[in-house]
Structure 1
Amino acid sequence: MILSALLTSVGINLGLCLLFFTLYSILKKQPINAKVYAPRFVAAKEKEKESPSETEANGFNFERLLPTAGWVRRAWQPSEDQFLSATSLDAVVFMRIFVFSLRVFGFAAVIGVFVLLPINFLGTQLEVDFSDLTNKSLDSFSISNVDDGSNWLWVHFCAAYIFSAFVCYLLYNEYSYISSRRIAHFYSSKPQPNQFTVLVRGIPVPSGSSSSEIIENFFTEYYSSTYLSHTMVRRTSKLQRLTKDADKVYRTLARIKSEKDPQQRFKRDGLFGRKVDALDHYGKKLDDLEDTVRLEQSSLAGKEVSAAFVSFKSRLAAAVALHIQQGTNPTEWVTESAPEPQDVHWPFFSSSFIKRWICKLVVLVAYAAVTILYLIPVVIVQGLANLSTLETWFPFLTSILTLTVVSEVITGYLPSLILQLFLKLVPPIMIVLSSMEGYISFSQIQKGACMKMLLFTIWNIFFANVLSGTALYRFDILLEPKKIPGLLADAVPAQASFFISYVVTSGWTSVSSELFRMIPLIFSIIKRLFSGKDGDEFEVPSIKYHSEIPRILFFGVLGITYFLLAPLILPFLLVYCCMGYLIYRNQLLNVYAPKYDTGGKFWPIVHGSTIFSLVLMHIIAIGMFGIKDLALASSLMVPLPILTLLFNEYCRKRFLPIFESYPVECLVKKDKEDQSDPSMDAFYDKLSTAYEDPALIPRRQRSTDGHNSPLLPAEV
Structure 2
Amino acid sequence: MILPALLTSAGFNIVICIGFFSLYSILRKQPNNLKVYFGQRLAQLQPGQKNHYFFDRLIPSAGWLVKAWEASDDDIYACGGIDGLVFIRLIVFCIRIFSVAAVLCIFLVLPVNLFGQAIDGTTPESQMDIFTIRNVQEGSKGLWAHFFALYVISISSYVLLYIEFKNVARMRLEQVIRFPRRPSHFTVLVRGIPWYDGESYSEAVSKHFSRCYNVSYLAHQMVYRSGTIQKLMMETEKMYKVLTETPINQYVQPITLETLPPSNPLKIVASETESALKKHTKHGRKSDMKDQECAAAFVFFKTRYAAMVASYTIQSKDPMLWVTDFAPEPYDVYWANLCIPYKLLWIRKTLVFIGTILFSVWFLLPTTLVQGLVNIAQLETTFPILRGISKKQYANIISGYLPSLVLTCFVLLVPPVMLMFATLEGAVSRSGRKKSACCKAIIFFFWNIFFYNLFTGTWWDRMNKLTVTGLKDMATLLGNLIPGQAPFFMTYIMTTGWASLAYELMQPFVLIVNWFCQFVLMRKEGYGDLYTFPYHTEVPRTLLFSLLGFTFCILAPLILPFLLVYYFFAYFVYRNQILNVYITRYNTNGSYWPIAHNATIFSLVIMQGVASIIFGMKNVGTASGFAFILIIFTLLFNLYCRHKFLPLFTNKAVQDLIEMDRHDEHSGRLEEVLSRLLSSYNKVGTYSGNHPTDLLSPEYKKICGDSMVVTRSKEDETRFVLFVCLFVCYYY
**Where do residues 121-140 of structure 1 align in structure 2 (5 Å cutoff)?**
121-129=114-122, 137-140=127-130
- Counterparts of 2:199 and 2:82, CA distance in 1: 44
Match 1:676 to one of 639, 649, 666: 666
SS of the residue corresponding to residue 118 of structure 2 reads coil
Give the conservation status (yes or no) of the 8 Å contact 1:193–1:340: yes
Letter of the aligned partner of 2:109 in structure 1? L
Q: Match for residue 627 of structure 2?
A: 637
Q: Matches of 1:278 and 1:430 in 2, distance apart?
A: 47
Matched, 1:369 2:358: yes
CA offsets per residue over residues 296-336 of structure 1, 9 Å max, x none?
88559531111111111111111111111122322221101
Query: Match of 1:501?
Result: 491
Distance in 2 separating the partners of 1:368 and 1:289: 47
Aligned counterpart for 2:187 among listed residues 185, 197, 204: 197
| 2:140 counterpart SS class | coil
Q: 1:351 aligns with which of 308, 326, 340?
A: 340
Contact preservation (8 Å) 2:515, 2:526: no
Matched residue of 1:691: which SS?
A: helix
Structure 1 residue 403: Cα displacement: 2.9
Question: Does residue 454 of structure 2 align to residue 461 of structure 1?
Answer: no
Shift of 1:471: 7.2
3-state SS of 1:637 partner: helix
Residue 296 of structure 2 aligns to a residue in which SS? strand
Amino acid at match of 1:508: W
Deviation at 1:487, TM superposition (A): 3.9
SS in 2 for 1:339: coil
2:91 to 98, 101, 110: 98
Counterparts of 1:465 and 1:360 in 2: how far apart (Å)? 28
Paired residue for 2:377? 388
Q: Distance in 1 between matches of 2:475 and 2:672?
A: 63
Secondary structure in structure 1 of the residue aligned to 2:41:
helix
Q: Which moved more, 1:292-301 or 1:507-516?
A: 292-301
Distance in 1 between the 2:234 and 2:372 partners? 47
Q: Structure 1 residues 453-462 or 524-533, which shifts more?
A: 524-533
> 1:306 aligns to what?
295
Name the structure 2 match of 1:408. Answer: 396
Q: How far, CA to CA, are the matches of 1:657 and 1:165 in structure 2?
A: 24
SS at match of 2:554: helix
Q: Deviations 1:19-44 (Å, cap 9, x if unpaired)?
A: 111101111100100011111222x2
Paired AA for residue 33 in structure 2: N
For 2:509, the equivalent position in structure 1 comes to 519
Secondary structure at the counterpart of residue 490 of structure 1: helix
2:45 partner amino acid: K
| 1:268-279 correspondence to structure 2 within 5 Å | none
2:419 aligned partner, one-letter code: I
Conservation of the 8 A alpha-carbon contact between 1:236 and 1:695: no
Aligned to 1:447: 435
SS at 1:200's partner residue?
Answer: strand
TM-score (norm 2): 0.86
Asked if the contact 2:601/2:638 (under 8 Å) is kept, the reply is yes
Q: Report the counterpart of residue 9 of structure 2 in structure 1.
A: 9
Q: State whether residues 540 and 592 of structure 1, in contact with CA within 8 Å, keep that contact through their aligned partners in structure 2.
A: yes
C-alpha distance in 1 between matches for 2:455 and 2:50: 56
Aligned twin of 2:529:
539
- The TM-score with structure 1 as length reference comes to 0.88
* SS state at 1:336 partner: strand
SS in 1 for 2:146: helix
CA RMSD of aligned residues (A): 2.9
Q: Deviations over 1:185-231 (max 9, x none)?
A: 22112410011111111222310011212211222222122111111
Whichever residue aligns with residue 418 of structure 1, its letter is V
Distance change >3 Å, CA 625–CA 135, structure 1 → 2: closer
Deviates more, 1:104-113 or 1:487-496: 487-496
Matched residue, 2:420: 432
Distance 1:8 1:281, change over 3 A: farther
**In structure 2, which of residues 45, 48, 56 is the aligned counterpart of residue 47 of structure 1?**
45
> How far, CA to CA, are the matches of 1:698 and 1:169 in structure 2?
45
Q: Distance in 2 between matches of 1:421 and 1:450?
A: 19
The Cα of 1:411 is off from its aligned counterpart by: 1.2
Alignment of 1:15-26 (within 5 A): 15-26=15-26
1:557 is the counterpart of 2:547? yes
Of 70, 88, 92, the match for 1:77? 70
Distance 2:260 2:678 in 1: 36
Q: Is the 8 A contact 1:416 1:506 kept in 2?
A: yes
2:303 is equivalent to residue 320 of structure 1: no
Describe the shift of the 1:26–1:586 C-alpha distance in structure 2 as closer, same or farther (beyond 3 A): same
Please give the alpha-carbon distance, in whole angstroms, between the structure 1 residues aligned to 2:500 and 2:38: 20
Contact 1:253–1:282 (Cα < 8 Å) also in 2? no
Q: CA deviation digits over 1:666-708, x for unaligned, max 9?
A: 212222222234443222112112122645359999xxxxxxx
Distance in 1 separating the partners of 2:527 and 2:33: 15
Letter in 1 for 2:430: F
Equivalence for 2:208: 218
Cα distance in 1 for partners of 2:104, 2:664 equals 53
Q: Contact 2:21 / 2:502 at 8 angstroms: preserved in 1?
A: yes
* Partner Cα separation in structure 2 for residue 439 and residue 698 of structure 1: 17
Residue 165 of structure 2: aligned partner: 175
1:418 to 389, 401, 406: 406
1:263 aligns to 2:250 (yes or no): yes
Which amino acid in structure 2 is aligned with residue 467 of structure 1?
F
Instruction: Name the residue aligned to 1:591.
Output: 581
Deviation at 1:539, TM superposition (A): 3.0
User: For the residues of structure 2 that align with 1:469 and 1:17, how far apart are their CA atoms?
Assistant: 28
* Aligned equivalent of 2:565, options 554, 559, 575: 575
The question of whether the paired residues in 2 share the 8 Å contact of 1:105 and 1:574 is answered with yes
Contact 2:517 2:527 in 1 (8 A): no
- Residue 176 of structure 1 aligns to a residue in which SS? helix
Q: Shift in Å at residue 292 of structure 1?
A: 8.0
Is the CA contact (8 Å cut-off) linking 2:189 and 2:325 kept in structure 1? yes
Contact 1:383 1:390 in 2 (8 A): yes
Specify the code of the residue in structure 2 equivalent to 1:101: C
- Mapped contact 1:125–1:146 kept (Cα < 8 A): yes
| Residue identity opposite 1:648 in structure 2 | N
Following TM superposition, by how much is the alpha carbon of 1:599 offset from its aligned partner in structure 2, in angstroms?
Answer: 0.8
| Deviations 1:488-544 (CA, angstroms, capped at 9, x unpaired) | 323321211100111111111111221111121111112223201266665311111
Q: CA deviation at 1:135?
A: 8.1
Q: In 2, Cα distance between the equivalents of 1:91 and 1:107?
A: 25
Percent of aligned positions that are identical: 40
Name the CA shift for 1:689/1:110 in 2 (closer, same or farther; >3 Å): same
Instruction: For 1:279 and 1:86, locate their aligned partners in 2 and report how far apart those are by CA, in whole Å.
Output: 39
* Unaligned segments of structure 2, at least 5 residues: 282-288, 463-471, 692-732
